[in-house]
Chains A and B, each alone.
Chain A
Amino acid sequence: MKKKKHKKIKDVKNMAAMVPINVPFVVKKSKCKSFSEKKASQNDIKFILDQANKFEKQRKKSQ
């Protein structure tokens, strides 16, 4: 039983490097409320769009 558990972890370690691992994201019951309340801030969205737009501008320049 112990050996089996070890193997499972090792397999996950091998896959964990952003290779699809198919472990679902499940929110604990006790955390559902606080999770639902988390929203992206406008500053975060602005940062992402700003970076992305600069990158797209560079791509257009490349063409």
Chain B
Amino acid sequence: MTYKYGTEVNYVEEIIDISKKDYLKEFDCKNDEINNHIKKFQSHISTERLWGIFDCNLDKLVCVYSLKASAITRESSDNRGAAYDSAVEIAIFAVDKNYQDLRMSDKKEDGCLSSRILCSVMKKIMVMNSNICAVEYIILYSTKDAEEFYKKCKFKSFTQYMKNRDSYIQYCVPMYFPICLLQQEE
């Protein structure tokens, strides 16, 4: 069974615990490094929380993501030390190859399933910022290939601001999104 549009997918979102480990074995996002990291994941000993979006029709794992607390450091110009802006890092965001580029309709503005999932993750963080704990930025490291995807979801490149990290960011792109308080009805 293949889908024409992402709207045909029925899904649930759950934490990936030890009972769901087998789903990780079949997961393939076309990036060996991410695949290996995910396959090695052991929920019972890891401090990392992996979330999964599961396709209920085909009993497959559609997307894996994880979040972690982080910060953006701003160096002080008057030598009073640094300032820290709170951030949540999307540490992993990977979509299975069978669901990548799956459009939601014929209309371009409806986007694809991957971008809707990412936006729902971003909304989660914005809701947390509004209701639980202040967060000023969402940050992530993108692969070079995925940079355009994140830009479509309104992330901006952090490269121009990054201090002395040229060798570290040669193969990936640091990106950020500044967030704000949501209105109650959102």
Which residues of A does B touch, CB under 8 Å? 5, 8-9, 12-21, 23-29, 31-32, 35-36, 38-40, 44-45, 47-56, 58-59, 61-63
Contact A12 B171 (CB under 8 A): yes
Contacts of A29 in B (CB 8 A): 75-77, 163
Please give the distance in Å from A12's CB to the nearest CB on chain B.
5
28 A-B pairs, CB-CB below 8 angstroms? A8-B167, A9-B167, A12-B171, A16-B172, A18-B31, A18-B94, A19-B37, A19-B92, A20-B68, A20-B89, A21-B172, A24-B70, A25-B87, A25-B139, A26-B74, A26-B163, A26-B165, A39-B178, A39-B180, A40-B178, A45-B182, A48-B154, A49-B123, A51-B116, A52-B122, A55-B117, A61-B10, A62-B10
Report the count of interface residues on B (CB-CB < 8 A).
68
Q: Would you call the interface of chain A mostly helix, strand, loop, or mixed? A: helix
Contacts of A53 in B (CB 8 A): 123
A-B contacts at CB below 8 angstroms, number? 161
Given contacts A20-B91, A39-B178, 10 further A-B contacts (CB under 8 A): A12-B168, A16-B33, A18-B142, A25-B87, A27-B162, A31-B161, A40-B179, A54-B116, A55-B117, A59-B12
Which residues of B does A touch, CB under 8 Å? 7, 9-13, 31, 33-34, 37, 48, 56, 68, 70-77, 82, 87, 89, 91-94, 104, 111, 115-117, 119-120, 122-123, 126, 139-143, 146, 153-154, 156, 158, 160-165, 167-172, 174, 176-180, 182, 186
Q: Would you call the interface of chain B mostly helix, strand, loop, or mixed? A: mixed
Which B residue sits closest to A8, measured CB to CB?
Answer: B167
Bound CA span A20–B94, Å:
13
Please give the distance in Å from A51's CB to the nearest CB on chain B.
4
Contact B75 A26 (CB under 8 A): yes
Given A29-B77, A49-B123, check contact A19 B34 (CB 8 Å). Answer: yes
Contact B180 A45 (CB under 8 A): yes
Please give the distance in Å from B183's CB to the nearest CB on chain A.
10
Find B160's partner among A5, A13, A31, A56 (CB 8 Å cutoff).
A31
Bound CA span A56–B13, Å:
10
